[in-house]
Amino acid sequence: MFTTEKGAKTALRLELIQGTKNHYSIRTGENTPNLTGEIEDLSEFQNLKGINASNNQFTKLDALLTLPNKDKVEKINFFGNKIGEVDLAKIFTEFPNLKYLNLDYNPLSVKNLSNLTSSQLEKLVEGMKNKQIRISASKGTVLADLLEYTQGLIKSGDGTQRQQAQRLQAILQSGSIEPKNKGENNSNYTPLIIGELQKILIEAVSKTGDLVVDPAADTKPGRKDGAYTRLLGNEQLGALISRIHSASISSGVELEKLVLAKSDLFLVQTAEEMESLLSNGEKFDKKTYLIPKKVVKKSAKFKSEHEPDYLILKKATKTLYITELKDGDAFDTKKSAGEAESLRKFKNHISENVPYKTLILVCCFNQTSKEKILQGFKNKIKPNEAFTGQEFCELIGIDYQAIVKERKEQDQKENI
């Protein structure tokens, strides 16, 4: 009836026989291995009402169909296995009195959803709402499968189907992937940090009706073999978050380009030009100059181990701003003390060699509260050194709202 690795066949059979007449359990623990074979045949169990095969490594549910009196089965629990796919329409048809189905924490895909009858769809919705049907999206393609199915019903189903599809989307959006009773499954399950990502994806699909990925535009695909995939157990989500992370990092460079395009800043491009400007700026006629880090590094006179993102010279006030710019709303608090120390060291270094007042400028472009910037920097900088994005743009003479609007209308659309 069972084929298993590690010679577990006999132990597994005894476990079943020693169960109650109506409910059989395959449990793992100190004396039972984490079973890696398959259940093949359950035809000898005439009165089975439930089966608990949680926390093993079974990959299929086929053996359930060998039960002789499926109408008696009320509970099926395969939590924490390696089940690859489930046909819910077939399960509901073959087990008409099923009250509890737990397939949480399996790398599931859900097939043949279009075969669900209206009553079966209602059963799925009610079961997921009441946590009696558990097929979380923490692994596999469950989320994508259910979204595609519900969107199809919302577009072309009848009134009842559309209503049920909308209810199912709401359940997916608000539901937790953590088991209702972790002790029930004897599991060391760790909640995964993807609930909010699922909600965002569902909201996006719900609003737009479709989620389309253009392969031709996929010039920088995320890593499927990275840390995010190992964390989530899902290649698609891992690659997506990897790509989002990369885009987030590169967005700082894009912000700098946009700032330059929107302002009358004069970009200093050579070390020689920088040294001349900072030694005797009177012969330069622009109001504001920007010196990138890469230029500072090339200057024998001004380079150090602590260059900021760039220097901004305001000729009218004869002030040189030692600038750190973040495309976000807070600095990394773990690094804030080191960042502050580096800025001060560079300020002390360059102040001795320029005829300008030197000030530190720390800008979180998307932050509107100076207090939060100070908190994020662990109060290692002074209040007059913390700049919001609005204040930074006013300093260099550009329109903050114009930049925000352009990024929203162009960059966000391209990123999605």
What is the C-alpha to C-alpha distance for residues 353 and 303, in angstroms, rounded to an integer?
Answer: 12
Residue of 257 and 9 predicted with greater confidence: 257
Neighbour tally for 325: CB within 10 Å = 21
pLDDT class for 282, splitting at 50, 70, 90?
confident
Q: Which of 98-102, 141-145, 273-277, 406-410 has the lowest mean pLDDT?
A: 406-410
pLDDT class for 113, splitting at 50, 70, 90?
very high
Residue of 49 and 329 predicted with greater confidence: 49
Q: Average pLDDT, stretch 59-67?
A: 92
Q: Average pLDDT, stretch 47-69?
A: 89
User: How many residues make up the chain in this entry?
Assistant: 416
Q: Average pLDDT, stretch 101-116?
A: 92
Residue of 192 and 70 predicted with greater confidence: 70
* 404-to-263, 324, 327, 383 alpha-carbon distances in Å: 14, 19, 11, 24
Report all structural domains of the chain as residue ranges with CATH numbers, in order of start.
Answer: 2-212 (3.80.10), 217-248 (no CATH), 264-397 (no CATH)
Q: Which of 23-32, 49-58, 358-367 has the lowest mean pLDDT?
A: 23-32
Question: Quick one: angle between helices 159-174 and 118-129, nearest 10?
Answer: 20
DSSP state of 268: P
Q: Average pLDDT, stretch 138-163?
A: 84
Question: pTM for this one?
Answer: 0.47
* 155-to-126, 170, 195, 334 alpha-carbon distances in Å: 22, 16, 26, 48
Task: Give backbone dihedrals phi and psi of 267, rounded to 5 degrees, phi first.
Answer: -85, 120
What pLDDT is recorded for position 192?
A: 40
Q: Provide CB contacts within 8 A for 203, sequence distance 6+.
A: 173
Single out the residue of 322, 382, 364, 379 nearest to residue 346, CA to CA. 322
| DSSP annotation string for 67-91 | -S-GGG--EEE-TTS---EE-HHHH
Residue of 96 and 220 predicted with greater confidence: 96
What is the C-alpha to C-alpha distance for residues 415 and 251, in angstroms, rounded to an integer?
Answer: 11
Label residue 361 exposed, middle or buried (CB < 10 Å: 0-12, 13-18, 19+): buried
First to last CA, the chain: 50
| 318, amino acid identity | K
What pLDDT is recorded for position 164?
A: 92
What is the C-alpha to C-alpha distance for residues 184 and 79, in angstroms, rounded to an integer?
Answer: 10
Alpha carbons within 13 angstroms on the beta-carbon side of residue 201 total: 21
Q: Which of 234-243, 288-297, 379-388 has the lowest mean pLDDT?
A: 234-243
Task: Please name every residue paired with 359 in a beta bridge, in sequence order, or none if there are none.
Answer: 321
